[in-house]
Structure 1
Amino acid sequence: MPYLERGQQGFGRALAALFAGGFVTFAILYSTQPLLPVLSADFHVSPAVASLSVSLTTAILAIFMLLTSAWSEDRGRKSIMVASVLASSVLAILTALAPSFLSLLVLRAVVGATLAGLPAIAMAYVNEEFHPATLGIVMGMYVSGTSVGGMSGRILVGAMSDLWSWRGALAGLGIISLAASILFWRGLPVSRHFTPKPGALRRLAPSLAAKLRDPGLLTLYGLGFVLMGGFVTLYNYLGYELMGPPYHLSQTWVGLIFLVYLSGTFSSTWMGRLADKHGRVKILWVGLGLSIAGALLTLAQPLGVKIAATALFTSGFFGSHAIASAWVGKRAKTEKAEASSLYLLFYYAGSSLAGVTGGFLWTRFGWPGVIGLIVGLLGVGLLLAGGLQHLERRTIAAAQGPQGSAGGQPVGAHHGR
């Protein structure tokens, strides 16, 4: 069966479906983040306890991705992804009816488990069903959906909570997500290149161990760790910086800063296309360089410069993530879903560990300390990208093999000229 590619019927609908799936996942995942102060007041819990409505969901998501990716190797891709987004949307609506904070946490934990059915499997699906020449733009479109969803999970919910209440906001987002889930279901083509591998769950542990022994995949996992670690650290503490002197912005205006996520919507697709044309490593370096430049420019005091710098940083992050995540599926020859789920496990681990470390640096050194951590992480990312280039050259050289000839002709020279 032919791969899905540009110009083929259904290619545009498939791109729209992947965008919708990414939107649903990240809109629901971060939907309670802008509501934390309201949840603290409504349920009489501390900010730390209220934050469990986000951190518990992401932790459960990371763990369950390993299981659902293995399950998809046995049961198929599309059916699990569709069930994931539909169930998560319904649960998001039910969360609005939670009578207590404990019941809200339970629902959010279940949401983390159901959301796990899409992210890692989507990467494997894209690599199996789309022509290799289009992988950058296709994965870029999916990542664009995640950036819009992540932005909506913070801004849209905040706006709706001002109009109605936090319950109305969560219900409204759940309804929007349900509509997007139906678009995903109807627009995504059925798998044509998937081959079931029964017993994948039993083979999960050995499979994960094998992926961790692959130097290329391990390097990509490290890249996911530093990318998300730097990204979450910046957004975790940007609000503190902007609400303090000399800016004294309100919570509403700080929330609107998330509109710069739109820069990631465009950069992920654009840089994915450039990677298809000019090579992944070269464009990956560009993305990391943009993020480093953006992070450093946020040290400038003028508010306009700081916001523009945040947009530049965000563009570089989403573009780099689109390239790295697509590369994982291409590098993994077998059990692509498990390979992708490991990438996302490292990705969220970077979010947790770097985010906490950034808090200590903020307390001691302020915003320069936070930026120092971010630039350090992204500097490691540049080294990892260099390692990927070295591995690619070795792979190409090994595939070509010795091609010398008698008489001292150089490798690759043609005979009989």
Structure 2
Amino acid sequence: MIEAHSRDWWRATLALCLGSFTVFVNLYAAQPLLPDLRVAFGVSTLSSAMVMGAATLTLAGSLLIYGPLSDAIGRGGIMRLSLLVAALCSLLLPWVPDFTSLLVLRALQGLALGGLPAVAIAWMGDEFDRRALMLAVGLYISANTLGGIGGRVIGGFAGEYGGWQASFLTVGALSLVCLAVFWRLLPPARNFRPASLRLDVALGGMRAHLGNPLLLAAYLIGGLNFLIFINQYSYMTFRLSEAPYALTTQWLGMIFVTYLGGTLGSALSGRVAQRLAQPLCMLLGIGIFMLGSLVTLSESLAGILAGLTINAFGFFFCHSMASSWVSRQATQARGTASALYLVCYYLGASLGGFYLEPWWQAGGWPAVVAGSWLVLLVTLTTAVWLWRRERRPQAATAQGG
């Protein structure tokens, strides 16, 4: 097994972080371009938003394919091929003849983008020892946040000066460079043990994972936390676009810089987990998330941005722990276990608007925070249950000794 801070650990961690960055740059680069795409193709706002929705929806669905597939044929090749196809899609997007073709190509890109997040943590679970895994997952999740920020910044900057076509070309070219480095750095897998690629085996693995309460709890925590986190940003843009703030679209996009709090939180999570149990770390992250939500009730813009930064820190701190917990607890079919976590994660993001919309309509932002707290209390309670469950064997061992 690869140990923390060894040469292979640094190579693999850097490669997977770079791959993660590449995935989310490609996924989110289109977000600041939506107004330009609406005008360029003469479509409605809702149709324009589907440029993002088409990619995230197919990404979520693809996770159920890549997980079992990687358990059978290996993970490195899937990650390399998926990054290559995603980069080629970005290079082809500027040449689409109509809006329907754009949506189809974005949907195909989403299918490709799912290849790395579906199996990256499972690759770590196969190759890294426990300490190396926890440290690497924290850095890997921090690369997610940097990719999310980078995609919006690069896409917006290139689009400002060269149109929406220049944004996709820039991202595609950058992705090919990142892929070349990823290809060279990622060490060969040494501990992977293939499983049979059979539908009944794949479904059996899914049933086993969904029947494991330790995994199911982590799926619940990840999905419900992301349901609140990502959709709070949507309703915050509504709040800040109105008086007394009246921020323009350019400045509304800059609120995603608060994701840097998540970059720090995820990077620190592995170190904290060496001293505290992982469920206790999840509990701590959720508590920080709840605190940040309260801070966003501030009437000052600085206070609101501080609250969003705290939210990001707490959310990604917990997300890092939940992700690595899944890889640790899954004794077989790790790719499937990690993929199921991410399916719940992105499903939560898709459903969050339906949950928070009635709260927004009923009482604006204070009601959104109240609704958020109700869900976060559920995940907090689940983390407490996991913590108590993990302590039982330790207490029994201590008594036996």
What TM-score do you get using the length of structure 2 for normalisation?
Answer: 0.96
Pair 1:7–1:29, CA change in 2 (3 A): closer
Pair 1:369–1:103, CA change in 2 (3 A): same
Match of 1:15 in 2: 13
Aligned: 1:33 with 2:31: yes
Match of 2:75 in 1: 77
Match of 2:400 in 1: 412
C-alpha distance in 2 between matches for 1:88 and 1:154: 17
1:241 deviation in Å? 1.0
2:211 to 196, 210, 213: 213
The farther-off stretch of 272-281 and 183-192 is 272-281
1:259 to 254, 257, 260: 257
C-alpha distance in 1 between matches for 2:160 and 2:229: 27
C-alpha distance in 2 between matches for 1:172 and 1:41: 21
Match of 2:92 in 1: 94
Deviations 1:47-103 (A, max 9, x none): 111111111211111111111111111111101111111111111121122221100
Match of 2:311 in 1: 313
The farther-off stretch of 55-64 and 101-110 is 55-64
Deviations 1:198-238 (A, max 9, x none): 22444111211111111111111100111111111111111
Please tell me the residue identity of whatever aligns with 1:170: F
C-alpha distance in 1 between matches for 2:13 and 2:97: 39
Please tell me the residue identity of whatever aligns with 2:311: F
C-alpha distance in 2 between matches for 1:205 and 1:52: 31
Please tell me the residue identity of whatever aligns with 2:185: G
What does 1:2-401 align with in structure 2 at a 5 Å threshold?
3-396=1-394, 400=397
1:11 deviation in Å? 2.2
1:182 deviation in Å? 1.6
Pair 1:7–1:249, CA change in 2 (3 A): closer
Q: CA RMSD in A?
A: 1.5
- Cα contact 2:261–2:309 (8 A) shared by 1: yes
- Cα contact 1:21–1:142 (8 A) shared by 2: no
Aligned to 2:207, what secondary structure does the other structure show?
A: helix
C-alpha distance in 1 between matches for 2:185 and 2:121: 17
Aligned to 2:197, what secondary structure does the other structure show?
A: coil
Please tell me the residue identity of whatever aligns with 1:247: Y
**Structure 2 unaligned regions, length at least 5:** none
1:178 deviation in Å? 1.7
1:281 deviation in Å? 2.0
Pair 1:7–1:148, CA change in 2 (3 A): closer
Aligned to 1:277, what secondary structure does the other structure show?
A: coil
1:397 deviation in Å? 5.9
C-alpha distance in 2 between matches for 1:50 and 1:395: 52
Pair 1:61–1:265, CA change in 2 (3 A): same
Please tell me the residue identity of whatever aligns with 1:356: F
C-alpha distance in 2 between matches for 1:319 and 1:211: 23
Pair 1:155–1:7, CA change in 2 (3 A): closer
Deviations 1:319-377 (A, max 9, x none): 11000001001011000110111111111111111123223322332111222222222
What TM-score do you get using the length of structure 1 for normalisation?
Answer: 0.93
- Cα contact 2:68–2:336 (8 A) shared by 1: yes
**Structure 1 unaligned regions, length at least 5:** 404-410
- Cα contact 1:71–1:200 (8 A) shared by 2: no
C-alpha distance in 2 between matches for 1:146 and 1:99: 32
- Cα contact 2:327–2:334 (8 A) shared by 1: yes
Deviations 1:128-160 (A, max 9, x none): 111111222100111111111111222221121
1:105 deviation in Å? 0.5
Match of 1:406 in 2: none
C-alpha distance in 1 between matches for 2:33 and 2:328: 39
1:396 deviation in Å? 4.3
Aligned to 1:165, what secondary structure does the other structure show?
A: helix
C-alpha distance in 2 between matches for 1:87 and 1:317: 30
C-alpha distance in 2 between matches for 1:335 and 1:36: 39
Match of 1:408 in 2: none
Aligned to 2:3, what secondary structure does the other structure show?
A: coil
Instruction: Using the aligned pairs only, state the percent identity.
Output: 35
